[in-house]
Amino acid sequence: MALQTQIYPLGERALVLDPSPLEPLSWELQAKLCWLATELRLDNRLLEVIPGMNNLTLVVKEPGQLKSVKAKLDELWQRAPDTAFEPQTVTLPVSYGGEFGPDLIKVAQYHDITPEEVVHLHTLASYKVFFIGFQPGFAYLEGLPHALHTPRLATPRLKIPASSVGIGGEQTGVYPLASPGGWQLIGQTQTPLFDPLSDIPCLLAPGDIVRFQAKEICL
């Protein structure tokens, strides 16, 4: 069945491509959107190209450019390849448990497994970066094993240390910056995910593959 693509305005200077609002989340669809974003970043009519979760937002420099940009967006989407690119794999060493992951034991107890088994399952999986959001450098990852799906904290913490690795519901991720948050903290990486002074500020990009590697387990 063909995707029911929608392209609609968002205010006076933005467009949203929503390929199939009734379809479940799909990595194949996200890969096409990542390819599309790469192509559109070469267009000098655009201020921003923002991949979301199975959608894409474009911000134009001038309101009068919306019509022509929409035509190009539709044309590119029609010929977007099924296999869009070769993703890079980024491995993040993690110190699990102890002061680095104060919720590791609680996550283990919730699933009736050992903390070591939590770490094993967490590092066994490969995670795909759907998009960057929430805060600079924060990657929304797909791929957390069902056995580790864990509810968020009932009361969010007021401050989570930068580089903390957490689990929130069906997702895992890394907080690039210190911030409030309600995810269960299981570890911390020493790899910075966001550097505003770098030519490429965000370590991760949509389409990347992330692997976690146990540096140590502190109980």
Band (pLDDT 50/70/90 cuts) for residue 2 is very low
The CA-CA-CA angle for residues 68, 62, 60, to 5°, reads 70
List the alpha helices (DSSP H) in 93-183: 104-111, 115-124
CB-count exposure of residue 162 (10 Å: 0-12, 13-18, 19+): middle
Tens digits of residue pLDDT in 92-115 = 999 999 999 999 999 999 999 999
Using one digit for the tens of pLDDT, what is the confidence trace for 147-191?
Answer: 999 999 999 999 999 999 999 999 999 999 999 999 999 999 999
d(CA 167, CA 83): 30
| Torsion sign across C-alpha atoms 40, 45, 48, 53 | negative
Query: CA nearest 15: which of 70, 80, 63?
Result: 70
Q: What is the predicted pLDDT for the residue at 80?
A: 80
Beta-carbon contacts of residue 120 (< 8 Å; ≥ 6 apart)? none
Mean pLDDT of all residues in 189-216 = 92
- Of all residues in the chain, the percent with pLDDT exceeding 90 is 60
Mean pLDDT of 57-82: 88
